[in-house]
Chain A
Amino acid sequence: MTKEVLAVRHVTKRFGQGENQVVALQDASMSVRASEVVLIIGPSGSGKSTLLTILGGLQTPTEGEVRLMNEDLQALTQRDLEKLRLDKIGFVLQAYNLVPYLTVADQFKLVDQVKKTPNVAEKTFERILRRLGIVAMTHRYPDELSGGQKQRVALARALYADPTIILADEPTAALDSERVNEVGQLLAEIAHQQHKAVVVVTHDIRLQEFADRTYEIVDGRLSEKS
């Protein structure tokens, strides 16, 4: 049994007051271990983004508890949360993942500028770049890359900081079926070979085959699919 990286216990998130109140998450509980891909799937407006921002320490839950590496996120200051995101969490987002005026190589160097803890070993990173097929593109700017290439660079960027957990928000939104499979495979590899915990939020059911476990979210209620 690998260790639990992320634990979510009875998390509720409400927006607004009184009549206008929206319950985006209702008593959600889940856990993620190292070396597994966990998929969170649900229709539009079901609370996926809300859940992911709470997992990433970008928002605080109204009720309940989120523990990352056994650390209670709510007990941390903004600065600690920032450091946690820099050191422990790799974000892969739908868009704007890359800084437009940095070459691919500089996207990684930017991490060195602010991060004090060591990054992934050089050898390992070279292997990652090769596996992602972006070795030859390190001198290109994002606007010289295709959508799929950009997403692979974003994955490499997320892995560069050697995080414990990867949080991916609709990583396949802009991609065709072939690319969806590719990204799915990569996420699975990252989990199984690099031993990262990978959480993917999506409404794309094509990703399901790459997941070790899947949660379904409907109207803010989270349940594990067997």
Chain B
Amino acid sequence: MFLAWREIKKEKMRYGLVITVVMLISYLVFVLCALAMGLARENTVAIESWQIKSAVMTRDANGNAGQSLLTEQEARSLQQKRGAAILGITPTTMKRAGHRESVQFIGLHANEFVKDRLQVVSGRLPQHADEIAVDTTLNHARYPRHETVTLGLSATRYKIVGYVAQAQYNMAPVVYGDLEAWSSIKGVSNDYAGSLAVYREDAPNVPRELVNYSTKQLIDKLPGYVAQKATFGLMIGFLVIISMIIMTIFLYILTIQKLPNLAVLRAQGIPNRFLTRNTLFETGVIVMSAVVIGGGLAVMTLTLLPDTVPVYISWPVTGLIALGLLLTGLLGTIVPIRLISKIDPASVIGG
């Protein structure tokens, strides 16, 4: 530590440069990560807010709840198990005073568990078939409380009675309403009772025409979700690897330049581990200051982004990324540490 601090102090320019480069990379990683999670949440946050364990829908829907139609009979038998709830989901358009909004309508039964899990931010949950509660991102002048809107094919005017947090599904804001309203909004006959059944616990065994999905399977079936996650994951992974390579190159060049001095120190009896520990410590200082500055800048940038850009900062994930950057940085010291351990102290005497 003794050598590391003094070296960084003397060589501010060099270390400043490498910290800047690693900082920019970690900045990019943090911003990308927040964007990725923001997008992911727009897909899944509603499902996550229900805290379900499994879901059952028709086989023909291929995991896309909006395409699934359960008959009255199927719904009744699926409801038999405790902790079941029937939901009617349909993508639709919400209209009011010339404004149009693409939304996901989700109809709920009044006395089933999903309704108890919704997080009402203001107002209340719908109690009648012509009442709705909408996602908080719609809580603005165009969709004020107590006003009425039209939904999809239904002729009814629905009254906004409240706003619900974490109500986004498949990249659209969710409008929660009564299950009875679902069929008319979707424009299907009354023979159908809903789209899918969700369960607090494992789903019961189902006949061949139906399929049982775990929550993770349900989320992964969302159109584009897996591809999106993989794309961001790859970008973040590459950036972390690039930062490791930069660290390695930098530490390698620095160590090469110091080799004659390090050889003298070895000849003078300064142990190898002292010099190795020093290099590790230097790397730690570089990565940590880069991560702290990059993280700070990223948070600043993210808060300044307009609301239309979905962003989500997850502290556990951020911590994990910081740890990842630190570990890969330390991995980058393998090369210089090998260089140091191969120094022949006898080489200092000669000329």
Contacts and interface: CB of A to CB of B under 8 A. Distances in A.
B98 interface: no
A96 B269 CA distance: 15
B264 A93 contact: yes
Nearest to B344: A58
B350 interface: yes
Nearest to A173: B351
Interface string A66-96: 0000000000000100111111010101111
A101 B269 contact: no
B350 A49 contact: yes
Interface centre among B10, B346, B349 (most CB of A within 10 A): B349
Contact of B261 (A91, A94, A99, A170): A99
A219 B351 CA distance: 17
B268 A91 contact: yes
Size class of B's contact patch?
Answer: 20 to 34
Contacts of A94: 351
B10 A141 contact: yes
B72 interface: no
A95 B348 CA distance: 8
Contact of B260 (A52, A96, A101, A141): A96
A102 interface: yes
Contacts of A89: 269
Contacts of A43: none
Nearest to B7: A101
A106 interface: yes
B269 A85 contact: yes
Given A91-B268, A101-B7, A53 B261 contact: no
B270 A86 contact: yes
B144 interface: no
B191 to A, nearest CB: 82
A91 B268 CA distance: 7
A110 B9 CA distance: 16
Contacts of A170: 351
Contacts of A101: 3, 6-7, 9-11
A102 B6 contact: yes
B267 A91 contact: yes
Given A58-B346, A109-B2, A99 B351 contact: no
Given A85-B268, A91-B267, A97-B264, A110 B2 contact: yes
Contact of A53 (B7, B260, B346): B346
Interface string B338-351: 00000001101111
Contact of A99 (B3, B11, B346): B3
Interface string B266-287: 0111110010000000000000
Given A96-B260, A101-B7, A102-B6, A114 B349 contact: no
- 3 tightest A-B CB contacts, nearest first: A86-B269, A85-B269, A101-B10
Interface of B: 2-3, 6-7, 9-11, 260-261, 263-265, 267-271, 274, 345-346, 348-351
Given A79-B271, A100-B261, A141-B10, 13 more contacts: A52-B349, A58-B345, A58-B346, A58-B348, A85-B267, A86-B270, A95-B260, A95-B351, A96-B260, A96-B348, A101-B10, A102-B3, A113-B274
23 contacts: A49-B350, A52-B349, A56-B349, A83-B269, A85-B268, A86-B269, A86-B270, A91-B264, A91-B268, A93-B348, A95-B260, A96-B260, A97-B264, A99-B3, A100-B10, A100-B261, A101-B6, A101-B10, A106-B2, A110-B270, A114-B269, A169-B349, A169-B351
